[in-house]
Amino acid sequence: MKLGVVGTGYVGLVSGACFADSGNDVICVDIDEKKVERMRKGEVPIYEPGLNRVFDRSIRENRLRFTTSLEEAFKESEILFLCLPTPPGADGQADLSFVLNVADDLGELFNKYPGYRVVVNKSTVPVGTADKVREAISAKTDEEFDVVSNPEFLREGAAVEDFMKPERVVVGAGTQRAADAMRTLYEPFVRSGNPIIIMDERSSELTKYAANAILATKITFMNEIANICERVGADVDNVRRGIGTDSRIGKRFLFAGIGYGGSCFPKDVQAIHHTAGQYGYDFKILDSVMKVNELQKVSIVEKMKEYYDGDLAGKRIGVWGLAFKPETDDVREAPALYITDALAKAGATMIAYDPEANETFQAAATSVALEAMEFTTDRDEVLKGVDALVICTEWNEFRRPDLDRFPKMMKTPVIFDGRNLYDLKRAKDAGLIYVSVGRPSVG
Ligand code: UGA
């Protein structure tokens, strides 16, 4: 099929490249000329495992093209995906201006290049956005078109894998014609039998928020269980195993830590909470989720303060991990941003290492944190002579270091682990003082 993808952020770029990989002709549009130029040369602007391979092959075979012209993409496309940012506005409501501005332009383009097309909202958008996009286009044209909601459920760091083999595809379509077009497009991705679930647009829009909100709630619930474990002397890892084997609860997304981050959960929980409020409903559980998560992000700093009797001034802290999660260079709402800021404010200095996010972090961290920080590209360099190590991201390379070497390298062998990477007995045997989340402290 001939597809246009408007916006080449995470979702747009991955969707465009994966649709092209499955044999479609895809033109991606972005207003950022430099980015388009780089992508034309085959450069992938984000770090995402497997994306390079998909990208290279589709560009070489001319199925994936890039332009700054919406018109060029529109002219040739049967289906147009809107993958535009919907940042949180001042009042917590998602800002729809990018989406609606493009919808306006589409209306005019329909007059210039007549013919039925499907316009798909793939960005996470508030309930009712499909209607707004439809109204914006209809205000400019009498041509026939459909607006479809098709939320994306891919995870950063596993985006290509998730896109290629989705557990489900959700399509909110008001007409049979649009539903059929979407089914034809997605069938190659669900050959293993996973469902394409067709529903109305509003339910589809809400499905996306409900999915992220329940996952954020699940994590937050476990973080609160962890906080209780610390008080009653239980181990959250045992509790997790104990409850996760109940298939109604499930094993996944039960890992306690230093709070959820990223570009999706924080924004989407806030947005659905706000939407509920607009409709006169107080979504109380999500209010708590947001409050607990804010505290959880810096809970490790509280533990450090407690350990040092409130005085972190002059302490040199090693930091492992800056990205909001492994396998990405994304630091949006990463706990490391808050932790480094709090440590700097408490008078500590830091040396940090992340396999992919050293640069993105420096562009996003607070100036207070940056003044107190050094960065290195050597994992072990972080340990040398530090008073303590704090682990903020569970990259695989942090999982199995030779813990026996730590006491020799560090000034004092103290680890504050926000991701529960090490076995307690192993940490004890290595002579470490080891403080993690929801587990008894060691040493
Ligand atoms: C999330 C959803 O998982 C995707 O399904 C969704 O498509 C995406 O948001 C989106 O809305 O675009 P993502 O933000 O890439 O994906 O990351 P996740 O792997 O879901 O992790 C989110 C946060 O939860 C991370 O900060 C992670 O560290 C934290 N987390 C996750 C935990 O603290 N504990 C867990 O057990 C799992």
**What's the average pLDDT block by block, 10 residues per block, for the chain (443 residues)?**
96 96 96 96 90 92 96 97 87 85 97 97 94 97 98 93 96 98 97 96 97 98 98 98 97 97 93 94 98 97 97 98 94 97 98 97 98 98 98 97 97 98 97 98 93
**Three-state SS sequence of the chain:** CEEEEECCCHHHHHHHHHHHHCCCEEEEECCCHHHHHHHHCCCCCCCCCCHHHHHHHHHHCCCEEEECCHHHHHHHCCEEEECCCCCECCCCCECCHHHHHHHHHHHHHHHHCCCCEEEEECCCCCCCHHHHHHHHHHCCCCCCEEEEECCCCCCCCCHHHHHHCCCCEEEECCCHHHHHHHHHHHHHHHCCCCCEEEECHHHHHHHHHHHHHHHHHHHHHHHHHHHHHHHHCCCHHHHHHHHHCCCCCCCCCCCCCCCCCCCCHHHHHHHHHHHHHHCCCCCHHHHHHHHHHHHHHCHHHHHHHHHCCCCCCCCEEEEECCCCCCCCCCCCCCHHHHHHHHHHHCCCEEEEECCCCHHHHHHHCCHHHHHCEEECCCHHHHHCCCCEEEECCCCHHHCCCCHHHHHHHCCCCEEEECCCCCCHHHHHHCCCEEECCCCCCEC
For the question of whether the overall pTM of this predicted structure is more than 0.90, the answer is yes
30's tokens = 């972005």
Fold of 209-284: N-(1-d-carboxylethyl)-l-norvaline Dehydrogenase; domain 2 (1.10.1040)
The partner residues of 320 in beta bridges, in order of sequence, read 353, 391
- CA angle (322, 326, 332) in 5-degree steps: 50
Q: What is the pLDDT of residue 258?
A: 98
Q: What is the pLDDT of residue 141?
A: 97
To the question of whether residue 267 is assigned a binding role by annotation, the answer is: yes
ipTM above 0.90, yes or no: yes
Q: Is 328 exposed, middle or buried (0-12, 13-18, 19+ CB in 10 A)?
A: buried
CA 316 to centroid of ligand 1, rounded, Å = 31
273's tokens = 């909470």
| Ranges of each domain in the chain | 2-199, 209-284, 298-435
CA 198 to centroid of ligand 1, rounded, Å = 25
- Report the C-alpha gap between 57 and 83 in whole angstroms: 22
Sheet holding 79-82, edge to edge: 64-67, 25-29, 2-6, 79-82, 117-121, 145-149, 169-172, 196-199
To the question of whether residue 398 is assigned a binding role by annotation, the answer is: no
CATH number attached to the domain at 2-199: 3.40.50.720
- Report the C-alpha gap between 118 and 106 in whole angstroms: 11
Given a contact cutoff of 8 angstroms between Cβ atoms, the answer to whether 293 and 262 are in contact is: no
Q: Do domains 2-199 and 298-435 have the same CATH topology?
A: yes
Q: What is the pLDDT of residue 92?
A: 67
Residue nearest to atom 33 of ligand 1 (CA): 260
Residue 260 CA, closest ligand 1 atom number = 26
CA 155 to centroid of ligand 1, rounded, Å = 6
- Lining residues, ligand 1, CB within 6 Å: 124, 152-156, 212, 215, 219, 253-255, 257, 260-262, 264-265, 324-325
Residue 216 CA, closest ligand 1 atom number = 24
Best of 47, 265, 272, 338 for a ligand 1 pocket test (most atoms within 8 Å of beta carbon)? 265
Q: What is the pLDDT of residue 208?
A: 97
> What superfamily in CATH does domain 298-435 come from?
NAD(P)-binding Rossmann-like Domain (3.40.50.720)
Q: Cβ–Cβ contacts within 10 Å for residue 37, how many?
A: 12
Active-site residue (options: 28, 229, 264, 392): 264
Q: Cβ–Cβ contacts within 10 Å for residue 20, how many?
A: 25
